[in-house]
Structure 1
């Protein structure tokens, strides 16, 4: 069982402004993106020179479709993606929060807690747990890496 003091040290989330799918438009590289998911999938497609897929991702405002299309990027190389994914997601989220004062205010209000994407289906970007699981407050019990939560915590610190 986690230490009660740990409940202030972590901020679990699954939806809302901290989600990659939340509609929070921002401009990056001279283009407007409707979600951070769209930025991530377009950047992924461009990383592998799949410009047709990047255009298809840009054409849809639906984050589920953005994700689906991003999974079909031609020439995808797992090792290359692993080297670039964190910086891509960081850049998109930094722009998202920097350009949206209401979203930045919500992000700032989580300090000093570590943000935790509590997603039972995602062991990379999330921690692999339900949002109401007490283990969210005990990193040794996480099943996943919580990459998105760690990135958002860094973005919050960058924008202080």
Structure 2
């Protein structure tokens, strides 16, 4: 009896969390990147790019593939939904439009794509 209740309760909690988790993550990321200039500039350097959570074990927030897997290069072959990448893309675009960050945006717009990619490669994760 307890096990049955526990499973049902877990499924109900998971269902509730699934309905709000993307909004919760969006708001958390929006706060983080609004407050942390280094992280925000790094996010801004990805402007015009699609962000991907290349996690072979996460098919919900990630693409279900490792970054070294050739299939990760083609969205049609992803095994996951990439909710984290989509969320970060939305956060970036919202912050990109804010007047408060105009100077940062203008600075990054002056950087070449090559420079931006080099800086992103050396950003510690």
Q: TM-score of the superposition, structure 2-length normalised?
A: 0.65
Distance 1:104 1:96 in 2: 8
> Of residues 79, 82, 89 in structure 1, which corresponds to 2:25?
89
**Comparing both chains, which one has the higher relative contact order based on Cα–Cα distances under 8 Å and sequence gaps of 6 or more?**
1
What corresponds to 1:116 in structure 2?
52
> Of residues 77, 87, 100 in structure 2, which corresponds to 1:151?
87
Structure 1 residue 111, shift from structure 2 partner? 1.2
Name the structure with the higher strand share: 1
**Aligned pair count?**
88
What corresponds to 1:107 in structure 2?
43
> Of residues 121, 140, 154 in structure 1, which corresponds to 2:76?
140
Map 1:4-15 to 2 at 5 A: none
Structure 1 residue 135, shift from structure 2 partner? 2.0
Distance 2:77 2:55 in 1: 14
SS at match of 1:102: helix
SS at match of 1:119: coil
Distance 1:76 1:99 in 2: 34
SS at match of 2:23: helix
Distance 2:34 2:90 in 1: 13
Unaligned runs of 5+ in 2: 1-9, 97-125
SS at match of 1:144: coil
Name the structure with the higher helix share: 2
Q: TM-score of the superposition, structure 1-length normalised?
A: 0.52
What corresponds to 1:77 in structure 2?
13
